[in-house]
Amino acid sequence: MGHSKHSPLEIAKAVMSAEASAILKASERLGTSFDAAIEILRASQGKVVFCGIGKSGHIAKKIATTFMSGGIDCVFLHASEAIHGDLGIYKPGDVTIVLSKSGSTSELMRLMPIFKAFQSPVIAILGRVDSPIGNASDVVLNASVEKEADPLNLMPTASASVALSIGDALASAMVTEKGFTSEEFARYHPGGQLGRNLLLSVGDVMHPLENVARVHLTHTLRDAVLAMSDYPLGAACIIDESDNLIGIITDGDIRRLLSKEGSVLELPVSDCCTKEPLSVNADCLLREALRLMEDRPSQISVVPVIEKNGRKLRGMVRLHDIYQTDFS
């Protein structure tokens, strides 16, 4: 086997650049046919049926899942299985979106008159517009590429990326048309990190007051270290006699203090803590807490939770708690 004169990294960059370029050219070609496709989807009272086979089938299936994420009723129909009973999924008026690189995929060509019989408008995402499938479709979206991105110009690389991007464009446009919100999106993704951040509040994941290291201004740094050893959440809160939050001292603060010369453990915490620290309340959504903790020059990993009206300490939330991937 001969060796390529290009390194794997050079090939990788060239492939990704070629795919990006192909997608950009496809975006510049979009026009009235895209608007027509959106109008068909907007007018439909039924579901969207995505149909393809082979690599185009994989892309069609992925686009279908994107539509589902946007709350759009849809299903994937394998072109070769369609004629063996799977066409029973159709109801009159369902929209069909077919994908084909050649525009002459035999399994799809056999289905085109059947789609018409089902009164299903057909939107075709094709690598060749002037083709049998293109001519039989209601709307054609041009997914052609000058060449594939792989060195052999054989594998469905650029063509697959362009078809996928057009599908994503359709889904994004439809989500906007529907006025779909991030909260609705979360309803369809309750188990993922995104759904977690959109649906849950700080109160759902925080550590309650009794599990938080707490010291008073009269205590020393040594007292804070011992409290943090008992409740290892990465920080100790400094409170007054009424449990109002005054300050916070973190693991990082302690490491910085211990790196200095001399004994620091007997210092009063009032000399070591951050006064009036960033805090949140239990009703704060996780996405907002995450933004407060990360969108700053120096990221913080733990935040006190206080009551909504006042400064009374209620608990603690860590970045780790927000990034947990389940609801347990």
Confidence category of residue 296, pLDDT binned at 50, 70, 90? confident
Name residue 99's beta-bridge partners: 125
Residue 162, φ and ψ in degrees, nearest 5? -65, -45
At 58-92, the pLDDT tens digits run: 999 999 999 988 888 889 999 888 766 678 888 88
Contact 96/49 with Cβ under 8 angstroms?
yes
Task: Mention every residue, 6+ apart, whose C-beta is less than 8 A from residue 263.
Answer: none
Q: Write the single-letter amino acid at 236.
A: A
Instruction: Identify the residue with better confidence: 168 or 286.
Output: 168
What is residue 54's predicted lDDT score, i.e. its pLDDT? 92
Q: Tokens for 89, please give them.
A: 């999924």
d(CA 213, CA 207): 11
How many C-beta neighbours within 10 Å does residue 168 have? 15
Q: What is the 3-state secondary structure (H, E, C) of the chain?
A: CCCCCCCHHHHHHHHHHHHHHHHHHHHHHCCHHHHHHHHHHHHCCCCEEEEECHHHHHHHHHHHHHHHHCCCCEEEEEHHHHCCCHHHHCCCCCEEEEEECCCCCHHHHHHHHHHHHCCCCEEEEECCCCCHHHHHCCEEEECCCCCCCCCCCCCCCHHHHHHHHHHHHHHHHHHHHHCCCHHHHHHHCCCCHHHHHHHCEHHHHCEEHHHCEEEECCCEHHHHHHHHHHCCCCEEEEECCCCEEEEEEEHHHHHHHHCCCCCCCCCEHHHCCEECCCCEECCCEHHHHHHHHHCCCCCCCEEEEECCCCCEEEEEEEHHHHCCCCCC
- Which domains are assigned to the chain? 8-180 (3.40.50.10490), 202-322 (3.10.580.10)
What is residue 85's predicted lDDT score, i.e. its pLDDT? 65
Q: Note the Cα 146 to chain centre separation in Å.
A: 31
Sheet containing strand 139-142, strands side by side: 74-78, 48-52, 95-100, 122-126, 139-142
pLDDT beyond 50 at 328:
no
What is residue 154's predicted lDDT score, i.e. its pLDDT? 85
> What mean pLDDT is predicted for residues 5-26?
94
Task: Mention every residue, 6+ apart, whose C-beta is less than 8 A from residue 273.
Answer: 238, 246, 247, 248, 249, 253
What is residue 245's predicted lDDT score, i.e. its pLDDT? 95
* Dihedral sign (CA 144, 146, 147, 148): negative
What is residue 259's predicted lDDT score, i.e. its pLDDT? 82
pLDDT beyond 90 at 208:
yes
Half-sphere exposure of 112 (CA within 13 A, CB side): 22
Residue 216, φ and ψ in degrees, nearest 5? -105, 165
> What mean pLDDT is predicted for residues 128-139?
96
Q: Which of 30-39, 177-186, 313-322 has the lowest mean pLDDT?
A: 177-186
At 233-287, the pLDDT tens digits run: 999 999 999 999 999 999 888 888 888 767 788 888 888 888 989 999 998 888 8
What is residue 249's predicted lDDT score, i.e. its pLDDT? 93
pLDDT beyond 70 at 198:
no
What is residue 308's predicted lDDT score, i.e. its pLDDT? 87
What is residue 4's predicted lDDT score, i.e. its pLDDT? 57
Confidence category of residue 183, pLDDT binned at 50, 70, 90? low
> What mean pLDDT is predicted for residues 137-159?
93
At 115-124, the pLDDT tens digits run: 999 899 999 9
* Dihedral sign (CA 159, 23, 20, 75): negative
> What mean pLDDT is predicted for residues 27-44?
96
pLDDT beyond 80 at 194:
no
How many residues are listed for the chain in this entry? 328
